Each structure stands twice: as C-alpha cells, then as structure tokens.
Amino acid sequence: MTHNNSKSIDETVRTLLENTKDIDFTLYAVDNDSTDGTPEHIEAHYPQVQVIYNKKNPGFGSGHNVVRDRLDSKYHCVINPDITIDRDVIRQMAEYMDEHPEIGLLSPAICFPDGRPQILGKRTPTLRYLAASRLRDGDEPGAVLREYAMLDCDLTKPQEIENATGCFMMFRTDLFKEIGGFDERYFLYFEDCDITRMVRTKAKVIYYPEAVVYHVWGRDSKKDLRLTLVQISSMVKFFAKWAFRKG
C-alpha cells in the first residue's frame, strides 16, 4: 500500500522484483490517493506491477484489504513501501511455512538499512509497554522496552510471538481471507497488533530471524501531532476491542 512514497518506492519495488524472479509472485501496489505521482511512476517504470488506484485515502488496513478478494495464492505478504530485501526472503519464508503448517503468520527479522536490528514489540501491547516505547530516549532500550521487544529471549531462534510488526508480514492467504483481512476501523497504527491477535485465535504467529528485511523506520508519530492523535485513537480502539477477549 502506498501514499506519497515516491522517494522510497523505487528501491522497494526494484529489490522485490529482482529477488523474486524464479517464483510465482504477483506484486500489487495499492495507492491511497497519492499526490506526488507514486502510482504513475510505478506504472511507467514497472509494468509487471499491478497498480490499483484508490480515489481516497481510507487508511493502512483498508488499503491493503482492496486486494483481498483478488488473491489466488498460498501465501500473502503485506509489505511497506519503505522495505527493501537483498535475497529471496519470500521463497525462504514460504518454504518455512510449508514445513510448519501450524503457522498462520510469519514475521521476519527487521533491520535498519545499515543492518542494525530494530527494537520492535513482540509481546501483546500494554500501556506500560507503549509508554516505554514512546518515552525511549537514545539507542539503548530500558528494561520495560526490552521485555516488550522480547530481548530477554534468544531471538536468534524461531519462536512464537504475540505481536508482529505490520511493515512486513506473511500470511496464509486462506487464513487472511477467513479473518477478513485487516480491521478497517483503524486508520493507521495498531492494525498490525489487531490482526496478529486475530490470527492467534486460529493459528501460530512465529518470529523467523533467518529471514531478514530492511526497513526505513521514521517513527513519524513522534514528530507529527496529527499522527500522535491518530495513534492514540487507534490505541483506544484496540484496547476497547480486546479488553474482554481471548487471543
């Protein structure tokens, strides 16, 4: 899903296409009403990509759901327009899921472009965890954030997690469709936490560190008051939805 991503989209599309040449792979670019020429650029330079134009910006989850009924695949990847790969992680992750039919959602290791690992929540979000993430100052995470990111575990090994990050997710397509895709009540933020919990009611969610992707993580909500308010709204919706539910 794209929205005014002209600065990053070339590297994302180029690395995805270069590293999936030998597999049956369809790349969709759903554009949420960009004004910077993103979808036109993709169509002009990457004719093998299926570009879908939304006439408005309905948000992250709703934008991704546009392709849900078009999918005819075993696996479906949700990929941010600021992700790059340097190997065929799509095949690598699909083969791992083939070997482990109990997995409904697979999450790779996510690194900055320079190779440093990103400190991302892997346990179910709580107010305590979110406050620690929000108030983090500097490169070294504190004790609470380390707990949230499961840095107290051996993350060199595949393991079950409670929360997967939405910048790169691989689903079993049948399960993605069964749960209805993303909950469209979230415009932005927490839709990944929500869909992870939906998957966990039916299958396992696994962190798979042998597959590595690179993410330009801007932490935009810390810089933009409007996005901060959107994040708070999504947080309230998430906690209200799951307050008395299991999963």
Mind listing the pLDDT tens digit for each residue in 21-74? 999 999 999 999 999 999 999 999 999 999 999 999 999 999 999 999 999 999
Strand, helix or coil for residue 156: coil
Q: Cα–Cα distance between 44 and 29 in angstroms, integer?
A: 13
pLDDT, mean over the chain: 95
pLDDT of residue 138: 65
When pLDDT is averaged across residues 95-101 and rounded to a whole number, the result is: 98
Task: Write the CA distances from 90 to 20, 76, 166, 219, 236, integer angstroms.
Answer: 7, 10, 16, 26, 34
**Angle 50-108-23 (CA atoms, 0-180°, nearest 5)?**
40
The angle formed by the CA atoms of residues 15, 164 and 236, to the nearest 5 degrees, is 125
110-169: per-residue pLDDT in tens? 999 999 999 999 999 999 999 998 887 667 899 999 999 999 999 999 999 999 999 999
Question: Residue 232: is its pLDDT beyond 70?
Answer: yes
CATH number of 9-242: 3.90.550.10
DSSP, residue by residue, 96-108: HHHH-TTEEEEEE
- Separation between Cα atoms, residue 246 and residue 84, nearest integer Å: 35
> Domain extents for the chain?
9-242
